[in-house]
Chain A
Amino acid sequence: MTGAEILLESLLAEGVDTVFGYPGGSIITVYDKMYSYADRLRHILVRHEQGAIHAAQGYARATGRPGVVIVTSGPGATNVITGVADAMVDSTPVIVIAGQVGNALLGTDAFQETDVVGMTGPIDKWTFQIRRPEDVATAVAKAFHIASTGRPGPVVLDFTRDAQVGIADFDYQPCRHIRSYALPAPADEAAIEAAAQLIDDAERPFVVFGQGVLLSHAEDQLKAFLKKGGIPAASTMLGLSALPSDFPYYVGMAGMHGNIAANLMTQKCDVLIAVGMRFDDRVTGNPSTYARQAKVIHIDVDRTEIGKIIPAEVGILGDAAEVLGRLTERIRFSFHDEWAASARRYECVEQEKVCVPETAPAGGPVNMGEVVARVSELSGRDAIIVTDVGQNQLMGARYSRFARTRSFISSGGLGTMGFGLPAAIGAKTGAPDRQVVLFVGDGGIQMTLQEFGTIMQEGTAVKVVLLNNNWLGNVRQWQELFYGARYSQTRLLNPDFSLIAQAFGIRYRCVEERAELEDALREMLDSPQAYLLDVHVREEGMVYPMVPGGRRMDEILLNKDEWYRDGE
């Protein structure tokens, strides 16, 4: 069997049924063999390799299974680099198979040759160059093992032409053991005991959880832990949907544009339990002022995260599900009713000062948050919400309500504009029975606009809500607040999106008035096909509340002129 066939057989052996890719000269042998695998392996032909990797990320985030990307050498490989870096920081299991020139041409500046191993090493979990056909199956097996275990991440296989065309026997053995790569061990008993003691002694315990809860499938363990300890909890942006929005102990999202309750309680708790999150600066503000009053328990599967930003009183290295399960057994039944109820007071302020004006304005142009809130209601909180990056993302995170897990997909750590459209394609491909709604701005949609072609060809029924304000809105917001309203290069002259939709054969409707919004949203959600809803939103729309960068998390702007004051 050729190395190319061994690759495809190995993917099937790993249970892969869908790959995202783009052919080219150095991967043509694989595509040739793929021709005979069309009944077993669905290939989604994207329009740009960046689209392939973001789609694979969306697929992985929606399904929990690794996304697979097949691209050619040189520009094919460099075009996936952004997505590799994005998947690394957001812990997304993705396997990239990039063609490479023949062994004899390596290092000669051959046509479409580039140093993939050197370029991807610093931004992925593992890179391996396959030079011999007999190494293909073991490389693929290791790739799946590494990408999907521990803290998940992207893996790049640099697949030379010699390895593709050479002949070897096929014998697939899944990888379960790598000498130098240890899987998460059961957490240290003494650390669990110390953490349980701190939690039992706490008067104002507080949980901030991240995507680690989703990655370790620890949703039920988290709920049981919060219920038994009577502990209020906030989510990071990537942790959203791990708890249902109406879960009794849930107080909202923490961070720069998070909920007031989440941020204030972080600054008031006496024990902070961080679960599967990494204290990004969008969550901590100025880290030297973050939760200084609290003893911190940090649970993470990645040793380098513990103590990296915020010193931990107790660090627990381990899988979130396992650690939370054991902690729940250990802690006492507790009630912190007054403390937990303090969230309601902050929520009232936020409702009055921020949410109601945003989602139910008396008049004027349509607001971004209003659109998100209506989508959430009309979709019965059941959709997978995908966002691009910027105001659309922050509004999508703030005003979506979730009933099911794995329902929020966004580029968190890297903040990659252009992520949204292809990620939504991947999410819908992986979860065809779920409604997938993308919130995207007029800037970000033009970064990967070509993927409408993929939607057209594959018939992927994603619902695209374009929050169109003719600005690069998030940068414009910073310019207005912190750069003296000097709007340097943030004004966009946009194309006629109706013609773009028409060109790609995608249903389109434009909303300019509030009165049309609900009807248009219903039409979009009911559509069995892809839909582009172009909502002309308030041009100067702003995302509040906001903790300006580098501030303490209780220094919160409610609007342009008003800071939150505690106790009012």
Chain B
Amino acid sequence: MENSSMYIISVYSENQVGLLSSISNIFTRRGINIESLTVFPSEFPGIHHFTFRAITTERAAQQVVGFIEKKVEVVRAFCFPDNATSAAEHGILADYLKNRNQ
């Protein structure tokens, strides 16, 4: 078995009623407990930023990210170990939105 550790799952989405519950269901269905959750407007206009912290395996975290990204209103999702930080995601997202907004 893979080791479990704390992961941060970072989600950027359109603002949509019901989306938070839909995303949290993706954790629930896999028996993953959400340790903490924050929701706030991102620096990108109209895009909300959720961060979830959860203890899980890397494989499960990657799967959760895949299923979250399948939600129509989700723009991008990322996961990384809690001890790392990702500045790269902002760059990726900025590029993505630049392309999609055209």
Contacts and interface: CB of A to CB of B under 8 A. Distances in A.
Interface of B, helix, strand, loop or mixed by DSSP: helix
B70 interface: yes
A125 B73 CA distance: 11
Contacts of A146: 72
Contact of A182 (B13, B63, B73, B100): B100
Contacts of B72: 125-126, 146, 178, 180-181
Contacts of A303: 66, 69-70
A409 B21 CA distance: 33
B67 A180 contact: no
Interface string B1-28: 0000000000001100110011001100
Given A146-B72, A304-B63, A304-B70, A129 B17 contact: yes
A118 B75 contact: no
A181 B70 CA distance: 8
B61 interface: no
Interface in A120-154: 121-122, 125-127, 129, 146
A129 B63 CA distance: 28
Nearest to A150: B70
A360 interface: no
Contacts of A181: 72
Interface in A89-139: 117-118, 121-122, 125-127, 129
The number of chain A residues touching the other chain, given as a range, is 10 to 19
B74 A118 contact: no
B22 A121 contact: yes
A304 B77 CA distance: 13
B25 A122 contact: yes
Nearest to A145: B72
A122 B70 contact: no
B14 A118 contact: no
A127 B21 CA distance: 12
Interface residues of B, number: 21
A304 B67 contact: yes
A178 B13 CA distance: 12
A414 to B, nearest CB: 15
A182 B99 CA distance: 11
A94 to B, nearest CB: 15
What is the interface of chain A mostly: helix, strand, loop, or mixed? mixed
A179 B75 contact: yes
Contacts of B69: 303-304
Contacts of B70: 125, 302-304
Contact of B74 (A122, A127, A180, A302): A180
A127 B17 CA distance: 10
Contacts of A179: 14, 75, 97, 100-101
A171 to B, nearest CB: 22
A118 B66 contact: no
Nearest to B23: A121
B38 to A, nearest CB: 20
A308 interface: yes
Contacts of A302: 70
B66 A180 contact: no
Contacts of B101: 179
Contacts of B18: 117-118, 121, 127, 129
A127 B70 CA distance: 13
Given A304-B67, A308-B63, A180 B73 contact: yes
Interface string B44-74: 0000000000000000000100110110111
Nearest to A303: B66
Contacts of A304: 63, 66-67, 69-70
B66 to A, nearest CB: 4
Contacts of B66: 303-304, 308
Nearest to B73: A180
Interface of B: 13-14, 17-18, 21-22, 25-26, 29, 63, 66-67, 69-70, 72-75, 97, 100-101
Given A129-B18, A302-B70, 10 more contacts: A118-B21, A122-B22, A127-B22, A146-B72, A178-B72, A180-B14, A180-B72, A180-B73, A304-B67, A308-B63
16 contacts: A117-B18, A121-B21, A122-B22, A122-B25, A125-B70, A126-B72, A127-B18, A129-B18, A179-B100, A179-B101, A180-B13, A180-B75, A182-B100, A303-B70, A304-B63, A304-B70
